[in-house]
Chain A
Amino acid sequence: MLLEITDLQVFYGRIQALHGVSLYVAQGEIVALIGANGAGKTTTMRAVSGLRPAAHGRIRFDGEDITKLRADLRVRRGISQAPEGRGIFPGMTVLENLDMGTYARRPGREQRQQDLERVFGLFPRLKERRMQVAGTMSGGEQQMLTIGRALMARPKLLLLDEPSMGLAPMLISQIFSIIKEINGQGVTVLVVEQNAQQSLSIADRAYILETGLIVTQGKGRDLLADPAVKAAYLGVA
């Protein structure tokens, strides 16, 4: 098991956001975490990457208990997150942002060039814009940049928080096929989404989160066919 979360509880002050979430991600999988606004998806991601402490429960990664590990050390273990929304470094150029992705690894020149080519292969737009100051890019471009930057860390586990947020419909299916492609290159992916249709169709397995609890889990395509899921998350009556 690459990632294993057991009975995770997380608080913001006195507000409890997660009430005992358990889930796992096996090596090589794409796992989707789906839920409405405020369900606790981002909170789960932040707990895995170490931005938010776990009040209770355990997080194991790659055979090691990382529940108490500092966030920067988790990056070194191979966890890399593309944060939600506008999580780029606004004053840095695209290239500088991508270089921040390699901060923990300190790759040599050749390695860096290779990684850049890989990211530019997935997102040609970033290559065109590589000298642009990231804060002046469009929302969709910033979204691509956070994903590209996370990939520069060469993670074992890639955490994606709403990668399709705010993208035009054409770009959405494109981003999901890119996620599939990244996964094909050997990266395990945990993706948080509100776009259930697309994420369920690429996910091996999926969890549905409601107010801090996992209420349903199963194979991606099984959930796609589940009438309850259809009603609640796919907008099909």
Chain B
Amino acid sequence: MSTGERLQAIDLRRVRAVSGMRRWWSRLPRGTRFAVLAVVAVLLYLLPVLNPPIITTPDSDFATVLFTVTTYCLAALGLNVVVGMAGLLDLGYVGFYAVGAYSVAMFASPSSSIATKYPWLVCVPIAIALSMIAGAILGGPTLRLRGDYLAIVTLGFGEIVRLSAVNSPGLGAAAGITSIPHPPGALNGQPIFSVLDAKPYYWLGLTLVFVVVALVRNIENSRVGRSWLAIREDEDAAELMGVPTFKFKLWAFAIGAAVGGLSGAMFAGKQGFVSPDSFPVLTSVLFLAAVVVGGAGNRLGVIVGAIAVAYLPERFRGFQNSRYMIFGLALILMSIFRPQGLIPNRRREVELADRKLDEVGVEVNA
């Protein structure tokens, strides 16, 4: 058996094992699947009320942690569009998260330099739109680059956004912007969203995660999703099939950015203030770690990754300080032993094996 054949045999076996689980799930009756999902959803909503032992965070407010997890889930889902679905490496994703947060801060806060004082709900679509535009602005000149070059330019973008905020008095400079209003709504005369109780934020965040999952799922199965898949698997071949690759890469950036912006808008609404300190390069790295560790290209995978990145350090506070070291180590170990992620995307797994074949340089035998 040649190296190539052995690689193929191994990878074929792995693909079969994963698709076994998938097949089991898809063979369950429709009603059963729906019921299981419904129960899981209800349990997720009840999490901060039930405060289940072991899962709950002893050192910090559980609902707040859960809310943070949902913002990470949103960011990971958005970044997954870019990295997992279209196959473009983006190291500056925190930039879009920042654009979303700052958009809400600028348009909603009475203390910002423009002080339009739009309600939070009006600011969210603005934040999404501005993030999308930022995505297109970053993508336009850079998406002709491939691989490593693109990664470096995007890395710079994240820093440019943060440094622009630091150096613009209009954006609150280093101090940031305060008194950002909370989302609207009142119950019995009491505002639903306040600093006192983080549960409503979590519920809102969780709902948005479900909405985004549904949207992304639809896109994946559409012509747009197929175009991304083709670009990711072989950009030249995609072009030879007539896929306008540049246009679809730009869309991937814009859609990914929109979801990142939404995540940032949520963050700003909960926090009540934003400052450049909230958007360091390391956050980009954490988002990317969530996607890669979880399983790029797999929605469930990246959500699991986001939970790991956002929840574990809060649960095990003792590790807080060595958080980045542990994630760095985890990333290295993952890339050696399980480069396809915890819950891999079936196709991506084959793509990785295929790339390995290219590197081994096997002879093509019929």
Contact yes or no, B364 A166, CB < 8 A: yes
Q: Is A86 an interface residue (CB 8 A)?
A: yes
Q: A91-B346, A91-B347, A136-B12 are in contact. Are A50 and B239 (CB under 8 A)?
A: yes
Contact yes or no, B366 A165, CB < 8 A: no
Q: A136-B12, A168-B366 are in contact. Are A100 and B350 (CB under 8 A)?
A: no
Contact yes or no, B234 A88, CB < 8 A: yes
Contact yes or no, B347 A92, CB < 8 A: yes
Contact yes or no, A135 B353, CB < 8 A: yes
User: Which one of B56-64, B166-174, B242-250, B285-293 is at the A interface?
Assistant: B242-250
* Contact residues of B: prevailing secondary structure: helix
Contact yes or no, A91 B350, CB < 8 A: yes
Query: Restricting to A116-143, which residues have a CB under 8 Å from any CB of B?
Result: 133, 135-136, 138-143
Identify which of B229, B240, B348 contacts A81 (C-beta below 8 A). B240
Q: A91-B351, A135-B353 are in contact. Are A83 and B364 (CB under 8 A)?
A: no
Query: Restricting to B320-366, which residues have a CB under 8 Å from any CB of A?
Result: 346-351, 353-354, 357-358, 362-366
Q: A89-B230, A139-B363, A140-B365 are in contact. Are A80 and B347 (CB under 8 A)?
A: no
Q: Is B233 an interface residue (CB 8 A)?
A: yes
Question: How distant is the Cα of A237 from the Cα of B354 in the complex, in angstroms?
Answer: 40
Please give, as numbers and ranges, the residues of chain A lying within 8 Å of B351 by CB-CB distance.
90-91, 135
Identify which of B15, B237, B244, B366 contacts A89 (C-beta below 8 A). B237
Please give, as numbers and ranges, the residues of chain B lying within 8 Å of A81 by CB-CB distance.
240
Give chain A nearest CB distance to B20 CB in angstroms. Answer: 15
Give chain A nearest CB distance to B18 CB in angstroms. Answer: 12
Q: Is B42 an interface residue (CB 8 A)?
A: no
Please give, as numbers and ranges, the residues of chain A lying within 8 Å of B362 by CB-CB distance.
139
Q: Residues 143-172 of chain A: 1 if any B CB is under 8 Å from the residue's CB, otherwise 0?
A: 100000110010000000000011110010
A138 and chain B: residue at smallest CB distance: B366
Contact yes or no, A51 B240, CB < 8 A: yes
B354 and chain A: residue at smallest CB distance: A90
Q: Is B241 an interface residue (CB 8 A)?
A: yes
The residue in B11, B236, B237, B349 that gathers the most chain A C-beta atoms within 10 A of its C-beta is: B237
Question: How distant is the Cα of A101 from the Cα of B226 in the complex, in angstroms?
Answer: 12
Question: How distant is the Cα of A72 from the Cα of B246 in the complex, in angstroms?
Answer: 10
Please give, as numbers and ranges, the residues of chain A lying within 8 Å of B240 by CB-CB distance.
49, 51, 71, 75, 80-81, 83, 87, 150
Identify which of B237, B238, B244 contacts A70 (C-beta below 8 A). B244
Q: Residues 214-242 of chain B: 1 if any A CB is under 8 Å from the residue's CB, otherwise 0?
A: 00000000000011011001101111111
Please give, as numbers and ranges, the residues of chain B lying within 8 Å of A71 by CB-CB distance.
239-240, 242
Please give, as numbers and ranges, the residues of chain A lying within 8 Å of B357 by CB-CB distance.
86, 135
Contact yes or no, B239 A72, CB < 8 A: yes
How many chain A residues touch B (CB < 8 A): the figure is: 40
Q: A51-B236, A139-B363, A143-B364 are in contact. Are A86 and B347 (CB under 8 A)?
A: no
Question: How distant is the Cα of A76 from the Cα of B349 in the complex, in angstroms?
Answer: 32
Question: How distant is the Cα of A134 from the Cα of B247 in the complex, in angstroms?
Answer: 26
Please give, as numbers and ranges, the residues of chain B lying within 8 Å of A232 by CB-CB distance.
none
Please give, as numbers and ranges, the residues of chain A lying within 8 Å of B358 by CB-CB distance.
86
Q: Is B142 an interface residue (CB 8 A)?
A: no
Contact yes or no, B229 A92, CB < 8 A: yes
Identify which of B15, B241, B244, B365 contacts A101 (C-beta below 8 A). B241
Give chain A nearest CB distance to B326 CB in angstroms. Answer: 31
Please give, as numbers and ranges, the residues of chain A lying within 8 Å of B353 by CB-CB distance.
90, 135
The residue in A86, A135, A138 that gathers the most chain B C-beta atoms within 10 A of its C-beta is: A135
Contact yes or no, B347 A153, CB < 8 A: no
Contact yes or no, A85 B242, CB < 8 A: no
Q: Is B8 an interface residue (CB 8 A)?
A: yes
Contact yes or no, A91 B348, CB < 8 A: yes
Identify which of A83, A101, A140 contacts B236 (C-beta below 8 A). A83
Contact yes or no, A133 B15, CB < 8 A: yes
Contact yes or no, A92 B365, CB < 8 A: no
The residue in A76, A139, A171 that gathers the most chain B C-beta atoms within 10 A of its C-beta is: A139
Identify which of A104, A133, A139 contacts B241 (C-beta below 8 A). A104
Please give, as numbers and ranges, the residues of chain B lying within 8 Å of A100 by CB-CB distance.
226, 230, 237-238, 241
Please give, as numbers and ranges, the residues of chain B lying within 8 Å of A168 by CB-CB distance.
365-366
Give chain A nearest CB distance to B60 CB in angstroms. Answer: 41
Contact yes or no, A75 B229, CB < 8 A: no
A50 and chain B: residue at smallest CB distance: B239
B353 and chain A: residue at smallest CB distance: A135
Question: How distant is the Cα of A101 from the Cα of B238 in the complex, in angstroms?
Answer: 9
Please give, as numbers and ranges, the residues of chain B lying within 8 Å of A83 by CB-CB distance.
236-237, 240
Give chain B nearest CB distance to A46 CB in angstroms. Answer: 8
Q: A91-B348, A92-B229 are in contact. Are A72 and B363 (CB under 8 A)?
A: no
Listed by A's residue number, 22 A-B pairs whose Cβ atoms lie within 8 Å are: A71-B242, A72-B243, A75-B240, A81-B240, A83-B236, A87-B236, A87-B237, A90-B233, A90-B350, A91-B348, A103-B242, A103-B243, A135-B353, A135-B354, A141-B366, A143-B366, A165-B364, A166-B363, A166-B364, A167-B366, A168-B365, A168-B366
**Sample of 11 further A-B pairs with CB below 8 A, known A103-B227, A143-B364:** A51-B239, A83-B240, A86-B354, A89-B229, A91-B346, A91-B349, A92-B347, A103-B242, A149-B241, A153-B242, A165-B364
Residues of B whose CB lies within 8 Å of any CB of A are: 8, 11-12, 15, 226-227, 229-230, 233-234, 236-245, 346-351, 353-354, 357-358, 362-366
Residues of A whose CB lies within 8 Å of any CB of B are: 49-51, 70-72, 75-76, 80-81, 83, 85-92, 100-101, 103-104, 133, 135-136, 138-143, 149-150, 153, 165-168, 171
